[in-house]
Amino acid sequence: MPFNTPKRILKYFRQDSRAVTPYRVNQWFKWLSPGLSIKRWLLISASGVCFVGLGLAIWIKLTPIFYAIQLVEGFLNKVTTILPSYISGPLVLLLGFLLILWGQSRTVGSITEVFRTDGDEELIDLLLNYRRLNRGPKIVVVGGGTGLSTLLRGLKTYSANITAVVTVADDGGSSGRLRREIGVLPPGDIRSCLAALASEEKLLTELFQYRFKAGDGLVGHSFGNLFLTAMSDITGDLEQAIAASSKVLAVRGQVLPATLSDMRLWAELADGRRIEGESNITHAKGSIIRLGCTPTNPPALPKALQAIEEADFIVIGPGSLYTSIIPNLLVPEIAAAIAKRCQKGNPPIPCIYVCNIMTQPGETQGYSVADHIRAIDRACGRHLFSAVLVQKQSPSETSLIRYAQENSHPVFLDREDVAQLKRRIILANVMDEDEQGLVRHNPQRLAGVLFRWYSRASKMRG
Average pLDDT of every residue of the chain: 84
> Above 70 in pLDDT, residue 373?
yes
Q: Report the C-alpha gap between 264 and 171 in whole angstroms.
A: 8
Q: What is the pLDDT of residues 406-416, one digit of tens each?
A: 999 999 999 99
Quick check: 308 pLDDT over 80?
yes
Q: Are 430 and 452 in contact (CB under 8 A)?
A: no
Rounded CA-CA distance 153/198 in Å is 9
**From the centroid of its chain, how far is CA 135?**
13
Phi-psi region of 18 (alpha: psi -120 to 50; beta: other; left: phi over 0): alpha
8 Å CB contact between 305 and 267: no
Q: Is the pLDDT of residue 337 over 80?
A: yes
Evaluate whether 355 touches 449 at the Cβ level (below 8 Å).
no
Amino acid at 135: R
H or E element at residue 127 = helix 123-134
3-state secondary structure of 265: strand
In angstroms, the CA 323 to CA 338 distance is: 19
User: Please, which residues bridge with residue 255 across strands?
Assistant: 164
Question: DSSP string of 414-457?
Answer: -HHHHHHTT-EEEEE--EEE-TT--EEE-HHHHHHHHHHHHHHH
Query: Binning pLDDT at 50, 70 and 90, where does residue 4 land?
Result: very low
Average pLDDT, stretch 442-446?
Answer: 96
Residue 272 Ramachandran class (φ > 0 left, ψ -120 to 50 alpha, else beta): left
Asked if residues 189 and 165 have their Cβ atoms less than 8 Å apart, the reply is no
For 14-23, 24-33, 223-232, 284-293, which range has the lowest pLDDT when averaged over its residues? 14-23
With a pLDDT cut of 90, the percent of the chain lying above it is: 51
Judging by beta carbons within 10 Å of its beta carbon (0-12, 13-18, 19+), is residue 191 exposed, middle or buried?
buried
Mean pLDDT of 96-111: 70
If one compares 293 and 184, the residue with the highest pLDDT of the two is 293
What is the reported pTM?
0.77
pLDDT reported for residue 341: 94
- Nearest alpha carbon to residue 434 among 456, 455, 403, 410: 403
DSSP codes, 136-182:
S--EEEEE-HHHHHHHHHHHTTT-S-EEEEE-----SHHHHHHHHHH
Q: Tens digits of per-residue pLDDT, 234-284?
A: 888 889 999 988 988 889 899 999 999 999 999 999 999 999 999 999 889
CB 352 within 8 A of CB 388: yes
Strands of 264-269's sheet, edge to edge?
Answer: 274-276, 264-269, 288-294
pLDDT confidence of residue 7: 44
Report which of residues 46 and 167 the model is more confident about: 167
Q: Which of 411-432 are b and which e, b meaning 16 or more Cβ less than 10 Å from the residue's Cβ?
A: bebeeebbeeeebeebebebbb
- Look at residue 95 in the predicted model and tell me its pLDDT: 80
Give the pLDDT of residue 13.
40
Q: What pLDDT, on the 0 to 100 scale, is given for residue 12?
A: 40
Query: Given phi > 0 = left and psi -120 to 50 = alpha, else beta, which region is 22?
Result: alpha
Tell how strand 431-433 and strand 264-269 pair up. unpaired
pLDDT band at 202 (very low <50, low <70, confident <90, very high): confident
